Amino acid sequence: MRGCRLGFISALAVALLAQALLLVASGCAQPPRDEAAAPAHALPVPKDPDLGSVMERFYQQVEGQHWQFAYAMLAPAYRTRHGESDLVARYGRYASFAVTLRQRSDTVVVSDIDGIDRDRGSPQRDEELVTLAWDGADWKIADLRWIAGRARKAPSATGTP
């Protein structure tokens, strides 16, 4: 009689364990995530934001060639127009660089990028206009534009371009 009872309990335990594993494997244990959905409790746009810290974090990701993380800092609308490979093409040409930031408004930053061209080894100076947007939880880069053309030459030792 005891062997029969243990067999029934063992079979019941195995059946319950199998059901629990199926439940977890099917994804029913967690509600589906919608990555593109807006935050449930959107925060108001910060007054007088320090966008320099956002841009510093972005350029650190770029300089470290952490393209996936830098790309994640871009606004969804910008990402629909530009892929991660566009980001690599834009900044991957720098072997190293230094960035000076000037915040022009609550949403616009001008970046002066002084770097070394990866292929030629020559100095490279670029100026970039960056527009940011608040998504209810964090600042995202809404647009990146070169100012006065791409790939301007750095000034020579005499100060002439």
- 80 found inside a domain: yes
Q: Are strands 123-134 and 108-117 parallel, antiparallel or unpaired?
A: antiparallel
As a whole number, mean pLDDT of residues 22-45 equals 61
Q: What is the predicted pLDDT for the residue at 41?
A: 80
Q: Is residue 21 part of a domain?
A: no
pTM: 0.69
- Assess if residue 20 is contained within a domain: no
Q: 71 near 79, Cβ under 8 Å?
A: yes
What is the number of domains present in the chain?
1
Radius of gyration of the chain (CA): 26
SS3 115: strand
The tens digit of pLDDT for each residue in 126-160 reads 999 999 999 999 999 999 999 964 454 444 444 43
Residue 36 pLDDT > 90: no
List, for residues 94-117, the tens digit of each pLDDT value: 999 999 999 999 999 999 999 999
Residue 70 lies in a domain: yes
Domain range for 56 is 51-153
CATH number at residue 61: 3.10.450.50
Q: What is the pLDDT of residues 47-77, one digit of tens each?
A: 999 999 999 999 999 999 999 999 999 999 9
Residue 159 makes CB contacts below 8 A (sequence gap 6+) with: none
- Is 62 contained in some domain? yes
Q: Record the tokens describing residue 102, joined without a space.
A: 């000037």
CA torsion 74-75-77-80 (nearest 10°) is 30
Please say whether the beta carbons of 142 and 131 come within 8 A: yes
Identify whether 34 is part of a domain. no
Residue that is written with structure tokens 């072997």 in the block: 95
Q: Which two tokens stand for residue 160?
A: 């002439």
pLDDT tens digits along 69-96: 999 999 999 999 999 999 999 999 999 9
